[in-house]
Amino acid sequence: MDITNRRTYFRIIITLGFLIGLNPFSIDMYLPGFSSIAASLNTDVATVGLSLASFFAGICLGQLFYGPILDRFGRKKPLLIGLSIYLLASVGCAFVTSIEQLILLRFVQALGGCAGMVASRAMVRDIFPPQDNARVFSMLILVMGVAPIIAPSIGGAVVTFFDWHAIFIVLALITAAVMAAVMIFLPESKGPDPLVSLNPVAVVKGYFYVMLNRRFLLYTLALAFGSAALFGYITSSPFLFMEVYGLGEFQYSLAFSFCAFCLITGSQVNRALLNRMSEERAALLTGGILVAVTLILLSLMLLSQVHLAVVLACIAIFMFSLGIFNPNTSALAMTSVSHNIGMASAMTGFVQMGLSAVIAGMVSVLANGTTIPMTAIMFGCAVILLACVFLANSTPQLSDAGEPAVLK
């Protein structure tokens, strides 16, 4: 497939964007239905929240499973099988009769859906030249970044006009459309490799070799701490905007959407920025800005309650900078490896989602009725990610001889 053709290029980008955005959409879309789900299944909202926790667990574990599978059998077949599992689990969620069934099926749904996350990162590395990877990831953020803005509204409308069961039917229909796009628009970017072993010992050894790549590991950690800082903000944003500043639900949604829009804007500015500087320099620059703005935000919160406009400005700068930082560190991590790319993609996603879940839990555990835990954690994550980028930039790129070509 000729990716120099503009129409083909954008079809691939949009399809990959939907693959990455499917899981965030799956999370945000059903949040407005929590109360209805609790009432229908004779439980409480806190217990319904366990279905969200099981979904995150499925995403983390599933990515490690798909890494070697994608290296062994190619990209498209495992991807389509994973999406099929997601589709069937979505239909199952629409017909559950107990909260236990929903928690289990959400776990299965995540196991299927995370195939799209792993495959899309690997296919970017396969299809596009390494020097274009950061620009491609920036475009993917544009597609997937729309999910947290529109998904809650769509979910709310579905619950209002139908009921919560219909949310999962809609997710199944969206998945069917994505599967059709994968079959029609996505090329098979890597054929099956029978030399790749699926023996558990070999798989563990393969992940071990991937993690021994110091440059890959550092950029992966930088990306993960950036995402963790973002999750720290997301977890505390209802308390920050609604409790501290007294915003109503609609006003909160506007503030949240504005900040999400800043993230998307930063990702698109990154495409132009890369005409003037390298991915390494852009990551270092925005890492420094993230440290500075989170330090300012923490200092202001320690001193006194700050005007909402100032807080919004700081978070907007944080999100804008993260929109530049994330695609560059994603690209730098993936271009640091030349073999076992499926495993590298899986490890990137596993570390990113796992650390984000830990940080989100820390914010909840450390909650003390102030904004200090959120801002302190955001600042701490920013300091670590900047250190990771600085060390990674000074680490030489491994030659092909420095990585195992196959798992034996």
Question: Which residue in 140, 146, 138 sits closest to 323, CA to CA?
Answer: 138
Considering the domain architecture, whether residues 331 and 361 belong to the same structural domain is answered as yes
Considering the domain architecture, whether residues 156 and 295 belong to the same structural domain is answered as no
pLDDT at 407: 41
The residue ranges of the chain whose pLDDT is under 50 are: 400-408
**Conformational region of residue 246, where left means phi above 0, alpha means psi within -120 to 50, and beta covers everything else:** left
Considering the domain architecture, whether residues 229 and 290 belong to the same structural domain is answered as yes
pLDDT at 225: 94
CATH number at residue 375: 1.20.1250.20
Other beta carbons less than 10 A from residue 6's beta carbon: 8
Residue 252 structure tokens: 């909160």
Quote the domain boundaries for residue 291: 195-396+404-408
Domain boundary among the residues 178, 194, 210 is at 194
Considering the domain architecture, whether residues 97 and 171 belong to the same structural domain is answered as yes
Q: How far apart are CA 278 and CA 393, in angstroms?
A: 11
Residue 30 near residue 54, CB atoms below 8 Å: no
| DSSP letters for 147-165 | HHHHHHHHHHHHHHHS-TH
Considering the domain architecture, whether residues 244 and 177 belong to the same structural domain is answered as no
Residue 1 near residue 92, CB atoms below 8 Å: no
Residue 269 structure tokens: 């500015």
Instruction: Name residue 84's amino acid.
Output: S
pLDDT in tens, 212-247: 889 999 999 999 999 889 888 877 777 778 777 887
- DSSP, collapsed to helix, strand or coil, labels residue 350 as helix
Instruction: List, as own/partner pairs, every contact residues 180-183 make where C-beta atoms lie below 8 angstroms and the sequence separation is at least 24, other chains included.
Output: 181/11, 181/14, 181/15, 181/18, 182/15, 182/19, 182/76, 182/79, 182/80, 182/83, 183/76, 183/80
Domain boundary among the residues 162, 194, 226 is at 194
Q: How far apart are CA 330 and CA 327, in angstroms?
A: 5
Q: Which residues contact 4 (CB under 8 A, 6 or more apart)?
A: none
Q: Which residues contact 361 (CB under 8 A, 6 or more apart)?
A: none
Considering the domain architecture, whether residues 20 and 70 belong to the same structural domain is answered as yes
Considering the domain architecture, whether residues 158 and 34 belong to the same structural domain is answered as yes
DSSP 32: G
Roughly what angle, to the nearest 10 degrees, separates helices 99-127 and 341-365?
A: 130
Domain count, the chain: 2
pLDDT at 49: 74
pLDDT at 23: 81
pLDDT at 145: 65
Considering the domain architecture, whether residues 136 and 205 belong to the same structural domain is answered as no
pLDDT at 118: 86
Return phi, psi of residue 41, to 5°.
Answer: -100, 15
Domain boundary among the residues 194, 217, 251 is at 194
Considering the domain architecture, whether residues 64 and 129 belong to the same structural domain is answered as yes
Considering the domain architecture, whether residues 180 and 206 belong to the same structural domain is answered as no
Instruction: Give CA angle at 61 (55, 62), nearest 5°.
Output: 80
pLDDT at 176: 95
Question: Which residue in 237, 234, 223 sits closest to 355, CA to CA?
Answer: 223
Dihedral sign for Cα atoms in the order 52, 54, 57, 62: negative
pLDDT at 95: 93
Residue 88 near residue 160, CB atoms below 8 Å: no
